[in-house]
Structure 1
Amino acid sequence: MPNNWKFAAENFAGDGYHNISHRSVDMVGIGPSGLGRRDNAEYKEGRRINVSFPREGHAAVVELFPPETPQVATYQNREDVGEYFRMMESERRRRLDGKTNLLGVVGTLFPNMSYLARQPRSIAVWHPRGPNLTEAWRWFLVDKDTPEEVKDVLRHYYIRYSGPGGMTEQDDMENWNYAHKASRGAIARRKPYNYQMGIGHLANDVELPGVLTEGICEENARGFYSGWVKMMDAPSNGH
């Protein structure tokens, strides 16, 4: 991809306001229930919390639900696949045993490993190939004991969603490429990016580690770059 690797890493760290760029994909309905690119209905009743670890540079986005929140049907195009995920969700909740119901969304482990926590579950590594080029490696995760018919549905879904041929991933790569190109302009180089959104709006009532904010906020990006600055300013080999 013709962009700096930090665009992708920052995006997965908690960029919650770029989703409008996927509007055309949502309208096509590539998700396994035909409701958009993913079955985002399962997040509808959640409380979005951004989790930042500025000392290390890690960041994540999660959704919190009360323990009694009803299950949301996903993978409705195939009854057998839908039943499998209903069973797995019931088991997950049983193991929570009344604890806060937390669903992961996205995150970045500093500096360059990112993940999607729900379907399509994946791990990505953004390899810098110079300041203006990134090589992306992506692994897609399926439980070993998943029935073969479910694996087949997930495989086709992942291909539609991610990778160079994936509709959503093409949108992301286009965003990063344009943002990178715009950042190299004469005026853009004179001015710093503005990362002030959500300063001071902490979610102090949530019992999770890290710096916590709610909703659309740039705290995670600030934390990611705090880790980056700390690494860049660190002495090299004791000098």
Structure 2
Amino acid sequence: SGSGRRDMSELLAGRKLHVCLPDRGHQTILYLSPPDDTPRPAYQNTPLVAEYFRHCEEERRRRLGDKARLLGAPGEIFPNTALLSRQPRTMAAWHPKSSHETEVWRWFFVDKDAPSEVKNFLRDYYIRYSGPGGMTEQDDMENWNYAHAASRGTIARRHPYTYAQGIGTAVENFEWQGMRVPGRVVDITDVRSSEEPARNLYRRWAEFMQADSWDELMTWRKNARAAAE
């Protein structure tokens, strides 16, 4: 219900960040807007829907205050749960069935008190965007299938993949225009990409595979105790 990239305004006005929590293995993309940022029109081809989400954004800003400058984007809760806090608002659980197959459960969220026109709009939007019949997920599946098939080839199995993109660019506790973002953060506004989230996931997975006990894995507890001493 509109045109162009939906995140272009955030890219032009603020910063796009990869945010990782190494102790937990979680990661996400966040947009950080400047303090004087104002809401931008959305879903303009459907006036009632546009008005509803304008009200939602104003209420979000009223409740969160300065924290409303942080806008959520795709993220991952270690080890196998994905989320998207903006539209389409979804949560997915990825269940590996074998070395060559993964089963995906996906939930779509609609506000219970939303007007019926908004609910109908979101239902159509979700069906067209995500899931087996969605445009973006079909595109992703085609890429993943090709990548998976290529990974089974002789040359690919002979040489390890590299996940070195963006090494050395992460900072702890990123800060921009008065807003501090905790965690290990890479500002990808200009470079557009980094493999820090993938490294964070695989690093934490390797720790789970190698640890002898849960106590060894609960590194955030050790860090909290050390900070308190």
TM-score (normalised: structure 1): 0.80
For 2:17 and 2:171, how far apart are their aligned partners in 1?
8
Q: 1:228 aligns with which of 205, 214, 217?
A: 205
Aligned to 1:143: 111
Q: Is the contact between residue 39 and residue 75 of structure 1 (CA under 8 Å) also seen in structure 2?
A: no
Once residues 71 and 213 of structure 2 are traced to their aligned partners in structure 1, the CA distance between those partners, rounded to angstroms, is 39
Superposed CA deviations along residues 121-141 of structure 1, whole A, max 9, x for unmatched, are 100111111111011111001
Structure 1 residues 198 and 127 mapped into 2: Cα distance closer, same or farther (>3 Å)? same
- Are residues 1:212 and 2:185 paired? yes
Query: Which of residues 30, 47, 54 in structure 2 aligns to 1:62?
Result: 30
Deviation at 1:100, TM superposition (A): 5.7
Distance 2:138 2:212 in 1: 38
**Contact 2:90–2:106 (CA under 8 A) maintained in structure 1:** yes
Q: Hey, what's the Cα distance between the residues in 1 that align with 2:79 and 2:161? A: 19
Q: Cα offset for 1:178? A: 1.0
Letter in 1 for 2:186: T
Q: Which amino acid aligns with 2:114?
A: T
Task: Identify which of 113, 123, 132 aligns with 2:100.
Answer: 132
Q: What does residue range 101-180 of structure 1 map to in structure 2 within 5 Å?
A: 101-180=69-148
8 Å Cα contact 1:41/1:72 also seen in 2: no
* Contact persistence 1:52–1:220 (CA under 8 A): yes
Q: Which has the higher strand share?
A: 2
Highest RCO, 1 vs 2 (Cα 8 Å, sep ≥ 6): 1
In 1, the alpha carbon distance for the partners of 2:21 and 2:9 equals 26
Q: 1:117-166: CA deviations, max 9, x gaps?
A: 10001001111111110111110011111111101001001111011111
CA separation in 1, counterparts of 2:98 and 2:92? 18
Alpha carbons 2:60, 2:68 under 8 Å: kept: no
Equivalent pair of 1:75/1:82 in contact (CA under 8 Å): yes
CA distance in 2, matches of 1:66, 1:113: 30
Q: How many residues of Structure 1 are paired with residues of Structure 2 in the alignment?
A: 205
Q: Which runs of 4+ in 1 moved over 3 A?
A: none
Counterpart Cα distance in 2 of 1:203 and 1:73: 33
RMSD over equivalenced CA pairs, Å: 1.9
1:39 corresponds to which letter in structure 2? R
Q: Is the aligned partner of 1:71 residue 2:39? A: yes
Give the TM-score taking structure 2 as reference length: 0.84
Deviations 1:175-226 (A, max 9, x none): 1111111111111112121111111112454222211111121111110100
Partner of 1:15: none
The residue that corresponds to 2:219 in the other structure is none
For residues 197 and 84 of structure 1, what CA distance do their matches in structure 2 show? 40
1:236 Cα deviation after fit:
7.6
Question: Which structure's CA Rg is the greater one?
Answer: 2
Match of 2:7 among 20, 29, 40: 40
Counterpart for residue 21 of structure 1: none
Aligned CA distance change for structure 1 residues 89 and 139 (closer, same or farther; 3 Å) = same
Q: 2:155 — aligned with what?
A: 187
Q: Which runs of 5+ in 2 are unaligned?
A: 215-229
> Larger deviation: 186-195 or 110-119?
186-195
Distance 1:98 1:231, change over 3 A: closer
Residues 1:86 and 2:42 aligned together: no
